[in-house]
Amino acid sequence: MNELSWFVVRRLFQGLVVVLTVTAIVFVVTRLIGDPVAIMLPLDATEAQRETLRRALGLDQPVYLQFIDFLRSLFALDFGESYWQHRPNIDIIRERLPATFQLVGAGMLLAVVLALPLGTVAAMYPGRLPDRITSALSLVGLSVPLFWLGLILIYVFAAQLRILPSSGPGTFVHLVLPAVTLALPSAGRLAMLVRSSLIDELNAPYVKTAVAKGLPLWRILGVHTYVNAAVPTLTMIGWEVTRSLAGHTIIVETVFAWPGLGLAAIQAIQREDLLLLQAIVFVVALMVVVINLALDLVYKFIDPRISV
């Protein structure tokens, strides 16, 4: 087996450990929050009914057996049945995932498209007007609370100008406001990072060599400094995607009634649908692990010095 496959295997194993840890925490927390039987049955249920359900859910077993059972079903993608919708949780997740992917995909793409040119221009003229404007904009972007930004955008573009719908699923125009809301703070953070990485790289000695070789500016910037700034930038993009999936989408999807996983999580909490919530947390953790594994592979591809 070559070096790279070992690397992948090791990373997969590490990812598995992360997923197991998250799962264990979720398992414990759900059992601490309350007795599922008490939540699932009406208040006037008899002790016999409770006992039956407890047995059906396996809650009469010792805790470690319950955990193993829980794991086994998770890896079979069996997340149990939603108490709220009375259908398999996996179906709900399948239904909700595309909307979240659309939102995060569009939002992050927009963030990158905004941040790269802004950060680059700022880095080329540090301390000068383009840099000041970019830095000010970035600061505003990254310090505005998401829900507030969402509400302001709704107020301006939906309520006042009436050019974009404020909420709901469906067409591309419905995606615009939530994606912009998700993108702007990320774009601010990303632009600042691109700026500082590029400023560092532009001062690196290899840039002197590139200039001395008479290379055109586009090649010095677009090839020489970008490959060197790529690892920190991709790390940041990965971090933004992770944060969107595991947090920001909950806010944005709620503000815009965007029917994704984040909204499902909020609804599950409101309806005390612990199994559904558990399933969502598991799926998100899995995605985060996959994203990080993919990034590690990309880093190795960009920087051959990274040892595995």
Partner 1 sequence: MTPPVPTPWLEVDDLWIEFVTRRGIVPAVRGVSFAIGPGESLGLVGESGSGKTVIAQTIMGLLQSPGRVKRGAVRWQGKPLRFGDRFPRDDVRGHDISIVFQDALAALNPLLPVGTQITEVLTRRFSLSPKTAKERAVELLALVGIPEPRERVRNYPHEFSGGMRQRAMIAIALACEPKLLIADEPTTALDVTIQAQIIYLLRDLQQRLGLSLLFITHDLGVIAALCDRVAVCYSGKIVETGPAEQIFARPAHPYTQGLLQSSAARDDGRDRLLGIDGTPPDLLALPPGCAFAPRCFRADAACNAAVPPLAGVGVDHAAACIHPLVGAEAVR
Nearest approach, Cβ of residue 82 and partner 1 (Å): 49
What is the separation of C-alpha 53 from the centre of its chain, rounded to a whole number of angstroms? 36
Give the nearer residue to partner 1 in terms of CB position, either 186 or 228: 228
Nearest approach, Cβ of residue 236 and partner 1 (Å): 18
For residue 142, give the nearest of 195, 110, 188 by alpha carbon.
Answer: 188
For residue 135, give the nearest of 183, 197, 193, 201 by alpha carbon.
Answer: 193
Give the nearer residue to partner 1 in terms of CB position, either 5 or 209: 209
What's 128's DSSP letter? S
What would the two tokens of residue 157 be? 């573009």
Nearest approach, Cβ of residue 96 and partner 1 (Å): 40
Give the nearer residue to partner 1 in terms of CB position, either 55 or 128: 128
Under 8 Å CB-to-CB from 39, ≥6 apart: which residues? Answer: 83, 272, 274
Give the nearer residue to partner 1 in terms of CB position, either 8 or 215: 215
Give the nearer residue to partner 1 in terms of CB position, either 173 or 211: 211
Give contact residues for partner 1 (rule: CB under 8 A): 204-206, 208-217, 219-220, 223-224, 227-228, 302-305
Contact by Cβ (8 Å): 255, 151: yes
Give the nearer residue to partner 1 in terms of CB position, either 42 or 304: 304
First to last CA, the chain: 14
Nearest approach, Cβ of residue 204 and partner 1 (Å): 7
Nearest approach, Cβ of residue 199 and partner 1 (Å): 13
For residue 187, give the nearest of 135, 261, 147, 148 by alpha carbon.
Answer: 135
Distance CA 257, CA 37 (A): 31
**Residue 272, by phi and psi: left (phi above 0), alpha (psi -120 to 50) or beta?**
left
Nearest approach, Cβ of residue 221 and partner 1 (Å): 9
